[in-house]
A = this chain, B = another copy of it.
Amino acid sequence: MRVAVIGYGGVGRAFVELINSKKDYLQKEGISLQLNYVIGRNGGIYNSGGIDIGDFIKFGAKQRDITKYSKGGNAEITFEKMLQNKDVDVVIEMTPTNKETGEPGMTHIRRSLESGINVVTANKGPILIAYKELKSIALRKGVQLGIGCTTGGALPSINGGMMDLAGADILSIEGVLNGTTNFIINEMEYSGVTYQEALKKAQTLGIAETNPAMDVEGWDTAGKLLILTNVLMNEDKKLKDISVEGITNITPKDIKSCLAEGKKYKLLGKTIMENGKVHMTVKLEKLDPTHPLYGVDGKNKAVRYTSDVLGDLTIIGGASGVIPAGASILRDLININRGYRFCR
Which residues does A use to contact B, with CB under 8 Å? 18, 22, 25, 29-30, 154, 156, 159-160, 163-169, 289, 292, 294-295, 309-319, 323-324, 326-328, 330-331, 333-335, 338-341, 344
Given known contacts A166-B338, A295-B289, A341-B339, A318 and B311 CB-to-CB distance under 8 angstroms = yes
Q: Is B311's CB under 8 angstroms from A314's CB?
A: no
Complexed CA–CA distance, A165 and B167 (Å): 21
Q: Is B30's CB under 8 angstroms from A167's CB?
A: no
Q: Taking the full assembly, how many copies of this chain does it contain?
A: 2
Complexed CA–CA distance, A316 and B318 (Å): 15
Chain B positions within 8 Å of A159 at CB level: 159, 163-164
Complexed CA–CA distance, A165 and B323 (Å): 14
Complexed CA–CA distance, A150 and B326 (Å): 32
Which of A160, A165, A167, A317 gathers the greatest number of chain B CB atoms within 10 Å? A167
Q: Is A314's CB under 8 angstroms from B313's CB?
A: no
Q: Is B341's CB under 8 angstroms from A25's CB?
A: no
Which of A318, A331, A333 gathers the greatest number of chain B CB atoms within 10 Å? A331
17 intermolecular pairs with C-beta atoms under 8 Å apart: A25-B169, A156-B313, A159-B163, A163-B163, A163-B164, A164-B331, A167-B334, A168-B331, A292-B295, A309-B324, A311-B317, A311-B318, A315-B315, A335-B340, A338-B341, A339-B339, A339-B340
